[in-house]
Chain A
Amino acid sequence: MNMTAALVFAGLFGFVTLLGFYAARWRAADLTSLHEWGLAGRSFGTVITWFLLGGDLYTAYTFIAVPALLFGVGAFGFFAVPYTILVFPFAFIVLGRLWSVSHRHGYITPADFVRARYGSRWLALAIAVTGIVATMPYIALQLVGLEVVIAGLGFKMAGWLNELPLLIAFAILAAYTYTSGLRAPAMIAIVKDILIYITIIAAVIIIPAQLGGYGKIFSAVSADKLLLKPPAEHNLNGYSAYLTLAIGSALALFLYPHSVTAVLSASSANALRRNMALLPAYSLVLGLIALLGYMALAADVSHLPEYADYFKQYGANFAVPALFLHSFPDWFVGVAFAAIGIGALVPAAIMSIAAANLYTRNIHGEFFNKNLTEKQETQWAKAMSLLVKAGALIFIIALPKQYAIQLQLLGGIWIIQTLPAIIVGLYTRWFDHRALLLGWLFGIVSGTWMVASLQFKGAIFPLQLFGYTIPAYVAVYALLLNFMIAILVTFLVKSLSLTPSLDRTQPQDYIDE
């Protein structure tokens, strides 16, 4: 066991634990209200929102998986960069409207908005269930990030004791999320982000110097990995796959319930818009982190005997931890691993809060008990946040990790099917709620079918069209089908003059000035 690194890691972990509990008293308010527990009273200004969204969107799993993808398959894994370039202009345009209408009417979840906009609790149920199902494996994957760095510290025990650090970390996380709500991850995100910036700045200075510069690093990568596979005759190959993955991921990001939770906790639409210009600072960090995958190749860590066991167990996901162990002094390994480990806690907390809010507001409060008091509502949400985390933990300990990865892949494809109802719904009420529900169903089924036809191994479907093969992100194909169905059925509904549902929002609700 790496004692120095483990002590630094444990020390930083202890510090954020104290912060997590202390957060209940930060901007003290009545935490028995769901607006306070689940959205921190919508009080976060530009700076806290920047830390919170940064901590929420750039997760531990990102920091492990993106470089692992470059390490494993090369240039294709760099799609994370164009994805984060496109996501903020898109968010700049649409999020102000979502924030404004939610602020005006007190919506806590995206399904709350859909419920009011389309007057259909079934459509809202579809949105809520999609959100919860897409979020669960995402939480589980945060645990993978945490597990990898704990293993990297050299913690080895027999049998179930091996999972002990993970269990302890998660029990602590569950406890302070329960007591402090969204305030806890917001406060911890500040520490996490500072640690990440320190780690990455050190990594991009120290490691290339050790390896003899960026030129040397890139020359260690095999030529076929360095670029995308160019189109051949009748096949668009890597180009269409790369582009659709970037665009599809950008469209999906702010549909995830945990993104919406962080967005709605901002104190103004302008604080959000300011953040869309400021958040790319994290994208730059992500781009540099992605290159760590190549640095790991150049350092040839997977062939060093001391890491052989880890690579056998964790595969490419161990590339970055191995690189840090190989390049940094022990105490700094502790800092870097703590950055990743704490980076797992922040999004896991926000995700569990978001899933709990969805269940309470759009399933329990809608279908089981319409007369929840505000206090009961919060009690339910707090209990659900525990249940969601316990579920994720069992998932990761009891089942093969591959399941969580595959489900998260499917989650991205499922969540994008809520785009017509949520994002398009912010602009127009032209669509009929029945048409949207049908479109959603076709999107989910066709997306799942395409991934199943790929044996759940990937999300790039090679569609054959007019003698051409166009490999593209399944989510994008399924979304196109979803739109086609929704448009057709809306026309049908209108031509049959079926009764439209009630819209409880007003056009001026969407404008914040």
Chain B
Amino acid sequence: MKNSKILFWFLIPLFAIICVPFYNRLDPVLFGIPFFYAYQLLLIPVTAAITAGVYFYFSRKNK
């Protein structure tokens, strides 16, 4: 995988998870779900979208 600078995008989910003090809280509550849970659940699709973006970037590069 050449031009692997794009892989630095993966630092976003890593950083988002390392910030435990930021999300270890109850408020704001989203759809009745405390922030601790809602935040981490929301990170799943966000990370999937980043991964998809990186994938498409590579597959376009390799054409």
Contacts and interface: CB of A to CB of B under 8 A. Distances in A.
Interface of A: 75, 78, 81-82, 84-86, 88-90, 92-93, 96, 213-218, 226-228, 230, 238-239, 242-243, 246, 270, 273-274, 276-278, 280-281, 283-284, 287-288, 291, 511, 513
B2 to A, nearest CB: 9
Contacts of B47: 85, 88-89, 280
Contacts of B34: 218, 226
B40 A85 contact: yes
B7 A277 contact: no
Interface in B38-54: 40-41, 43-45, 47-52, 54
B13 A75 contact: no
Contact of B18 (A243, A274, A278, A291): A243
Contacts of B29: 215
A90 B26 CA distance: 29
Interface string B18-46: 10110011100101111011001101110
A85, A93, A216, most chain B CB atoms within 10 A: A85
A243 B36 contact: no
Nearest to A231: B21
Contacts of B40: 78, 81-82, 85, 287
Given A75-B36, A88-B51, A227 B24 contact: yes
11 contacts: A78-B36, A82-B40, A86-B14, A89-B14, A89-B51, A218-B33, A226-B36, A238-B24, A276-B51, A280-B45, A287-B41
Nearest to B12: A89
A273 B55 contact: yes
A491 to B, nearest CB: 28
Interchain residue pairs A-B with the least CB separation, the first 6: A214-B32, A215-B32, A280-B48, A277-B52, A89-B10, A277-B51
B41 A227 contact: no
Contacts of B58: 273
A277 B24 contact: no
A228 to B, nearest CB: 5
B3 interface: no
Nearest to B32: A214
B50 to A, nearest CB: 7
B14 A213 contact: no
Given A89-B50, A277-B52, A280-B45, 6 more contacts: A82-B40, A214-B31, A226-B26, A227-B24, A277-B48, A284-B41
Contacts of B18: 243
Nearest to B13: A85
Contacts of A513: 62
Nearest to A93: B7
A287 B45 CA distance: 12
Contacts of A278: 48
Contacts of A214: 31-33
Nearest to B53: A277
Contacts of B32: 213-218
Contacts of A243: 17-18, 20
A227 B26 contact: yes
A288 B33 CA distance: 11
A246 B17 contact: yes
Contacts of A217: 32
B51 to A, nearest CB: 4
Given A86-B14, A89-B10, A228 B20 contact: yes
A228 B35 CA distance: 12
Given A226-B34, A227-B26, A270 B59 contact: yes
A285 to B, nearest CB: 10
Contact of B54 (A75, A92, A218): A92
Contacts of A277: 48-49, 51-52, 55
A78 B43 CA distance: 13
B40 to A, nearest CB: 5
Contact of B43 (A75, A85, A274, A511): A85
Nearest to B33: A214
A283 B33 contact: no
A246 B14 CA distance: 11
Contacts of A274: 55
